[in-house]
Structure formats: C-alpha cells, structure tokens
Amino acid sequence: MKKQLFISFLLLLSVTQAYASNRALGYDSLSVTYKPESFTQRSLLPIGLLSTSILYNDNYLDKRIVKIGGITQPALKSADFLQYSPIAILYAMKAFGVEGRSDWRRMITADIGSMAIMNLIARPTKHIIKRERPDGRAFNSYPSGHTATAFMAAQMLHKEYGETLSPWISVAGYGIAATTGIFRVIANRHWCSDVLGGAAIGIFSTELAYELTDLLFKEKGLRSAIVVPDLEEMPQWKFGLYSDYSMRSDVFTSAGYGNPDAKPACSIGIDASWMPWYIGATIRAGLTQMKWTGSEVIYLSHLGSVADVYTLGAGMDIDIPVIDRITLNGQAIAGYSPKANSYSFFADRERTLPVEWSIPAGMHCYGNLGMTVRTSAFSSVTLHGGIDFYDKVWRSYVLGARFNYTF
C-alpha cells in the first residue's frame, strides 16, 4: 500500500509540474532529437566524482585499527531496496502511460545497455583494487555497487522524464540514489570515496548507453522533446551530493570528552539550495567519519563500530557570476549534531585495556568559499575550501566538492 501511494504521489507530482516546468525552464526543442550539450559535457560531472573519489583514498582511516572477526552494525537493509527504487518509478510511470523520452523498445535497450556497462566497469574494478571494507569482512569495497546501481537508475529516470517532463522527478531519483550511498557508509560497508566512485560509474554508464542507443536508433522511438534550463539564467534550485576532506584539525575535544588521538577525516551528505536571487537558503544533512591518529595499534571487537558523527544544518548559499558558466560560491551553515556517541576500542588483542571515544551532541557549524562550474544544462560542480567547527569537539579545515543537479 505504501509503495502504491508513493508511486501515485510521484505520478501526480509529474503531471501537475509538467506545464509549469516547461514554461519555467526556458525553452524546448522543435525536434525530439535535440540535445542540449555533447556527451563530453555530460561526462564532466561523473569525471569530477571519480577524480574526487580517487584523491580522497580514505580507506587508510583505520589502518591501525584491527577488527577482530569483523564488526557489526545495523545492516540498513533498506539500501538493498532503495537502489532499485528509481528504476521502479521509471517503469511504473511508463506502465501508467506517462509519456517520456522514448518508447518501450528504445528505453529498454538503453536501460539494458546501462546495466551492462555499469557491471563491466564496477565488478572488475572491485576485484582489481581489492580495498578492505570498513567492517573488515571483505576486500571489494571500491566502488560501491549499491550506489552505482542507484545512480544508474536515477540517471535513467532523469533521461526519460526529468529532461522531458519535470525536473522534480529527477530530484526524487537522485535523492534516493544519494541516500542509498550514505546508508552504505552508515552501515560500515563503504568509505565515502566508495560512494563517490559508485555514483560516477552509475551516471557515466547511463550516459554512455543512451549515447550509443541514440546512434543505433537515431530518431526512431523518440516520443518527447528535451526541455532544458536557459543557460543564460542562474539556476533557481540546486540539489547536491557533497563531500569534504579534512586537511588539518586544530583540536579534538576538551572538557573531559574524547581522545586527542582521534580526529575528523571525511564527510559526506546531501544539501539543497533555493536561490531566488544571488543569495538563497540551503539545508544539509550528512555524516563525518573519524580516524585514529595514535601511533599504536588498537583493536575493535565485533560489537564495535567505526566512528561516525551525524549533522543537520541550515543556512545561506551565495552565487556571484564571474564569467559564462562560472560563479564564485559560498555557504554559511549553522547545524547541530543531535546524537552523543561513545566508541570502545582496546589497546591489546586480549581486550583488557579499553580505549574510549566519547563524542557529545552539540552545535556544529560550517562555512566555505569556492568556485562553481556549470558542467551541463542540469549539472554543476563546486570546488571549495572551508572550516568545520564542532563546539567542544573539533575545528577542522577542509577541502571538498559538491556535485549539483540544477534547474
């Protein structure tokens, strides 16, 4: 029943938004074969995701933490189902007769191609790189297969309905995909960079499959014209997957909390901004993974967990145009980490010498400055530097990136 209500809601949303979206987004084509940009331009965002995931190399975060028998964490089985949700929405809308970009034959061909390309890239990469998972149970962490599947499906949904009917359909798909990846980090199955790599492979696989399908079918089977934002105008909405890497942390807690040998390492999350002018409102939700910086080896039993800090926040987003498709960007966010956590380790394998990390709930604020490049009609990439301040816990200087869906 819940699934039916969810699908019905999306269908209603797509129909009610269609007319308004077509007017607000600027222009559409006179031909259904119109493309707003080249395959190279559409590949810039997944290339940015992949490059960031390689630069982070964050699996070293627990290189001096030995997991005794593999650790456990709530499995978050919802990610197993979430990864397929965008494609389920896609086929449900098609079955209900909502007209998209392609007819059944063309769409199924593109979708099968997307899945084949994704598996040809992701599966061999896992076995070649052999990265250990955060829970210590396997050596196939990079890239995240769940995230690759989810973003592949979200990109299919975007190609068929987000580009032709309403961008809010794409927002739903990408939101589900990003949530899938973050849940995999929370469940100790992946590092932040695994998720970024999986997202890159998923988006690229769909883009390549649709490019090949266009060459194969040409104009056959196209049903709807692509509607794109006016590139002369600043986007009013931005929905992003962000990730920050801590370059230096001045402090890790005082007043009796925590351990000075533990520091923030890598953050990942989702943010959304409404930009009625050059300044707008933004919200974000995410997590920060911790690293052990002590010189000695510590041990984590099967009842333990890799340390994560969760944050919710809201603030303002600023975009100042510089030249065509490039803006200066800044964010100021006031947030709160609502959950206090304690993490137990041991200084010896026999588990007789405990080591405790205690992380309190508290105010968690963030600010950054950077540059945004509009990579395509519907996407932009932001590179930034900033400061992450967690009251009574840490002050960290970060470099990071945001990968935005815009319209």
Are residues 274 and 207 located together in one domain of the fold? no
Q: What is the mean pLDDT of residues 350-355?
A: 83
Asked if pLDDT for residue 254 goes beyond 70, the answer is no
Does residue 222 share a domain with residue 308?
no
Task: Tell me phi and psi for residue 373, to 5 degrees.
Answer: -115, 125
Between these two residues, 360 and 331, which has the higher pLDDT value?
A: 331
pLDDT at 386 over 60: yes
- Verify that 303 and 374 share a domain, yes or no: yes
250 confidence band (pLDDT: 50, 70, 90) = confident
Supply the DSSP string of 98-160, one letter for each residue: ---SB-HHHHHHHHHHHHHHHHHHHHHHHHHH-PPPTTSS-S--SS-HHHHHHHHHHHHHIII
Average model confidence (pLDDT) across the chain:
86
pLDDT at 11: 37
Q: Return the CATH number at 317.
A: 2.40.160.20
Indicate if the pLDDT at residue 29 is higher than 60.
no
Q: Would you call the peptide bond into 260 cis, given omega within 30 degrees of 0 as the criterion?
A: no
- φ, ψ of residue 295 to 5 degrees: the values are -80, -25
Q: How far is CA 252 from the centre of its chain?
A: 27
Pair (187, 244) in one structural domain: no
In terms of residue numbers, what domain contains 295?
237-406
Place 253 in a pLDDT band, splitting at 50, 70 and 90.
low
Output the pLDDT for position 75. Answer: 60
CB 394 within 8 A of CB 250: yes
Query: Higher model confidence: residue 7 or residue 198?
Result: 198
pLDDT digit string (tens) for 143-191?
999 999 999 999 999 999 999 999 999 999 999 999 999 999 988 889 9
Question: Which pLDDT band holds residue 34 (cuts at 50, 70, 90)?
Answer: low
Sequence-distant (6+) residues with CB within 8 A of 33 are: 218, 219, 222
- What is the predicted pLDDT for the residue at 296? 79
For the residues 106-115, what does the mean pLDDT come to? Answer: 98
Dihedral, CA of residue 359, residue 142, residue 59 and residue 86, to nearest 10 = -20
- For the stretch 266-319, pLDDT in tens is 999 999 999 999 999 999 999 998 887 777 788 887 766 777 899 999 999 999
More confident call, 141 vs 229 = 141
Q: Is the dihedral of CA 194, 196, 201, 203 positive or negative?
A: positive
Looking at the DSSP assignment, which residues form a beta bridge with residue 403? Answer: 241, 381
pLDDT of residue 31: 61
Residue 74: band (very low, low, confident or very high) from pLDDT cuts 50, 70, 90: low
Among 78-92, 222-236, 363-377, the range scoring the smallest mean pLDDT is 222-236
Q: 307 and 168, same structural domain? A: no
- Residue that is last in its domain, among 206, 228, 250: 228
CB atoms within 10 A of CB 81: 11
- Kindly state whether residues 265 and 215 are assigned to the same domain: no
pLDDT of 204 above 60:
yes
Residue 137 and residue 263 in one domain = no
Chain centroid to CA 305: 22
Q: Is residue 126 part of a domain?
A: yes
The answer to whether the beta carbons of residues 302 and 274 sit under 8 Å apart is: no
Contact 378, 406 (CB under 8 A): yes
Please indicate, yes or no, if residue 117 is contained in any of the structural domains: yes
- Alpha carbons 312 and 269: distance in angstroms, whole number: 10
Instruction: Please enumerate in sequence order all residues whose Cβ is within 8 A of that of 7, keeping only pairs 6 or more positions apart, or say none.
Output: 88, 89, 92, 93
Give phi and psi for 350, each to the nearest 5.
Answer: -75, -5
Of the residues 228, 256, 278, which one is the last residue of a structural domain? 228
**Do 174 and 316 reside in the same domain of the chain?**
no
- 223 lies in the same domain as 245: no
User: Which of 64-78, 82-96, 302-316 shows the lowest mean pLDDT across its residues?
Assistant: 64-78
211 and 245 co-located in one domain:
no
Q: Is the pLDDT of residue 200 over 90?
A: yes
Higher pLDDT, 4 or 54: 54
Residue 31 in any domain: the answer is: no
Specify the pLDDT at position 12. 35
User: Per mean pLDDT, which range of 103-112, 299-308, 372-381 is the poorest?
Assistant: 299-308
Share of the chain above pLDDT 70, in %: 86
3-state secondary structure of 249: strand
Pairing, β 354-359 against β 341-346: antiparallel
CA separation for the pair 82, 129 (Å, rounded)? 26
- One-letter amino acid at 198 equals G
Q: Which of 37-41, 196-200, 288-292, 306-310 has the highest mean pLDDT?
A: 196-200
Residue 365 lies inside a defined structural domain of this protein: yes
Same domain, residue pair 88 and 217: yes
Residue 192 burial (C-beta neighbours within 10 Å; 0-12, 13-18, 19+): buried
Give the span between the Cα atoms of 72 and 346, in whole angstroms: 16
pLDDT of residue 14: 39
What global pTM score does this model have?
0.89
Clarify whether residues 216 and 262 are in a common domain.
Answer: no
pLDDT on residue 210: 97
| Residue 83 domain flag | yes
Evaluated on CA atoms 68, 288, 132, 184, the torsion sign reads positive
pLDDT higher than threshold 60 for residue 3 = no
Strand order in the sheet with 341-346: 65-67, 298-300, 341-346, 354-359
Confidence of residue 364 (pLDDT cuts 50, 70, 90): very high
pLDDT > 90 fraction of the chain, expressed in percent and rounded:
62
Q: Based on the structure, what is the number of domains in the chain?
A: 2
Q: What letter does residue 340 receive in the DSSP assignment?
A: -
